[in-house]
A and B are shown apart, each in its own frame.
Chain A
Amino acid sequence: MRYIEYKDEGVFKSGHFACAGCIESLSIRIIVNAVGTDAVAVVPPSCGAIICGGYPNSSLSIPTFHTTLEAAAASASGVKRSLVARGKPDTTVLCLAGDGGTYDIGFQALSSAVERNEDILYICFDNEGYMNTGGQKSSSTPLQAVTGSTPAGKLTPKKNIVEILAAHNIPYVATASAGHAEDFVRKVEKAKNIRGTKVLIVLIPCLAGWGVADNAGIKVTRLAVDSGVFPLYEVEDGVKYTLNHTKKSMPVNEYLSQQKRYKHLSEQDIAEIQSGIDKEWARLEKRTQASVD
């Protein structure tokens, strides 16, 4: 085992409210320390809002504004423009949102912020559902996953938000995972130094919502990457694709079988999911190749 050194300026404190074993806290720690102390966070209702803490405590030493569920990108735009107007254009403005606040109710505000190319760093902690309200489906919930509102499994696939954001010609959008911490830190640092809108989609296995063992968060997120369910890649200016983890090295069932939300799957269901992943992987490889050519 290799111990990974990463910068820790103590921006994220212990004593936070994450569920024991949840890797969202580790992900927040990676992000806020890579960004540093000259930053403001905007947090809509989400697991992240709970982890950041209730008054009078806060697990973040940077100022944090708790906004409404649908407004994270708009609220962040207000902070950034105000800082620009008041002569502090270099402060990083971070959004720490969930997938409900990004793929669903916050999407309109996000799309507009990207269209305006607001200089914000938007992080989506993607646990593939409304896990903070007890686990209901969002448009990020994958095909066949069981949630509180899809008890027989979801009938439609996960929304491809990276592709939608790329279609905005966003300066930078990438996927990241705490299971690949060096890649994650590099992406946050890279995004921080790009002017304009940057979005990182960070996969967070929800231990309770996905039915994953308390100590298996990192394992499951690594399986998601290795099986190609959650490819690690970057898109710059909507056209330049880079696959950061170039091997898809195992069948999807290795990943699915770790989770209770997929316990009901038949072999045919698994084959259908595998086929979807293979197609998406082939598409990404083509895009990556086209970017090199």
Chain B
Amino acid sequence: MAGDSTPMLLSGNHAVAWGVRLARPHVIPVYPITPQTPILEKITEFHSAGEITAEVIAPESEHSAMSACITASLTGSRVFTATSSQGLLLMHELLHYAAGARAPIVMVNVNRTVASPWAFWPDQTDSLSQRDTGWVQLYTESPQESIDTVIQAFRIAEEIGMPVMVNHDAFYVSHAMESVEVPSQACVNDFLPEYSIPNMLDPDRGQSFGAPVDQATYNRVRREMGEALNNAFTACDSAHSAWMELTGRNYGVIEEYRTDGAELVLVTLGSMAGTAREAVDALREQGHSVGLVKVRLFRPFPNDQVIEALKGIANVIVLDRNYSPGLGGILHQEIKAALYGLQDGPKVHGLLAGVGGVNVTPAKIQELVLRYADNDPVVASIWVE
């Protein structure tokens, strides 16, 4: 049966490697970086055992890894890579290039602090600072969600012809182990069809790709790219419902948790959502009407879904494990922008909680909720450690 799965004790990174194995990519250019490396090592272990048959390229940098991803993708191959932090930043130029070239690459980024100073802790500034590159961005909170999302990412990327980045937090997700339902190959084959995007660089086509263009052509190409990216909403919906049918696991572009009748809703990304969920339960038990919205799809930004979830709520607290100097929490700014102009919209508080990997416990979140619920919000995000 397609729905068969095997429970395995896996870290988030090894869950990703299993997802990649099941997705059957053709080319995997990849470069090591902490804390992504277990993804690379598990993939090369599968490869040396013949369980992944892709061409694996181990170049000298993430820049070259992403360069090879783009051309391999355009040459008619399903392509995967993984990186983190400085590696993602080194790729920055090519992230724009990949989206502009409409290469449906899937990449996992392990969210880690960016230097200087050098550090290795969970922090989402690395990927959030790539938000203008044209990649679909998804954030996951557990190894199970990571394997499921990686498999979904290939389908979404290939359906819309745009690259997809799946982000999970350093250590909290990348190295924490849990029992993961690993779907059967038959299940993934049902969900993810054979790669069918033609070789754009086929000598029989004889077409150039990426040559200099005039202003009007550039303008048109960027508009078309934006339209393609926005197709991610329907592609995500279709992937989520097909996955739900096959596995029973349900995802949306956002997830609402106990928001019914809530007066205050927490909004966050990634592993912080798991902690916030516990805080919500504890606060509910104490009689506070609190809920949670987890933003799973960050690009394209799900404005409509966020408005729908937050309209009529009195207070919203955004928890940002990232920091844009001179601006504040990046999710805070996005949520305010989404809600701007909404009649009787919520008061939006932005809290910089856990930047640099500082631990944020469920008790800490409860305390923050009680402290900020009755305050008037301020424009800037507030440091709360």
Query: Which residues of A are interface residues toward B (Cβ below 8 A)?
Result: 37-40, 42, 49-50, 52-55, 58, 60-68, 70-71, 73-79, 81-86, 91, 108-109, 111-113, 115-116
Contact = CB atoms under 8 A, between A and B. Distances in A.
A66 B211 contact: yes
Given A77-B59, A81-B77, 4 more contacts: A81-B57, A109-B61, A109-B63, A109-B64
A39 B68 CA distance: 17
Interface residues on B, range: 35 or more
Contact of B71 (A37, A79, A111): A79
Nearest to B64: A74
Nearest to A38: B203
Interface string B86-103: 000000011001000000
22 contacts: A52-B211, A53-B208, A54-B213, A58-B211, A63-B209, A64-B209, A66-B212, A67-B67, A68-B93, A74-B29, A74-B65, A74-B68, A75-B67, A78-B27, A78-B69, A78-B70, A79-B75, A82-B71, A82-B72, A82-B79, A109-B59, A116-B59
B326 interface: no
A65 B27 CA distance: 18
B207 interface: yes
Contacts of A113: 59
The list of the 6 closest CB pairs from A to B, nearest first, reads A78-B68, A74-B64, A78-B71, A112-B60, A82-B75, A71-B67
Interface string B114-134: 000000000000000000000
Interface string B305-320: 0000000000000000
Contacts, number: 154
B61 A63 contact: no
A63 B63 contact: no
Nearest to A69: B93
Contacts of B76: 82, 86
A78 B78 CA distance: 12
Contacts of A77: 29, 57, 59, 64, 68, 71
Nearest to B78: A85
A82 B77 contact: yes
A35 B199 CA distance: 20
A82 B27 contact: yes
Given A40-B203, A65-B71, A78-B27, A71 B94 contact: yes
B371 interface: no
Given A38-B203, A63-B202, A78 B210 contact: no
A82 B198 CA distance: 12
Contact of B208 (A50, A55, A81): A55
A78 to B, nearest CB: 3
B13 to A, nearest CB: 24
A115 B212 CA distance: 31
B94 A65 contact: no
Given A78-B75, A86-B26, A65 B64 contact: no
Interface string B47-69: 00000001101111101110111
B382 interface: no
Contacts of B75: 40, 78-79, 82-83, 86
Nearest to A36: B203
B74 interface: yes
B60 A78 contact: no
Contacts of B213: 54-55
A66 B208 contact: yes
B217 interface: yes
B217 A55 contact: yes
Given A78-B69, A78-B71, A82-B77, A71 B63 contact: yes
B199 A86 contact: yes
Contact of B67 (A54, A62, A64, A74): A74
A179 B67 CA distance: 34
A63 B210 CA distance: 11
Contacts of A76: 71
B7 interface: no
Contacts of A63: 200-203, 205-209
A125 to B, nearest CB: 17
Given A65-B210, A112-B59, A81 B203 contact: no
A207 B208 CA distance: 28
Contacts of A49: 211-212
A77 B55 CA distance: 11
A40 B72 CA distance: 12
Contacts of B60: 108-109, 111-112, 115
A62 B203 contact: yes
Nearest to A112: B60
Contacts of B94: 68, 71
A65 B74 contact: yes
Contacts of B74: 65, 79
A18 to B, nearest CB: 15
B55 A85 contact: yes
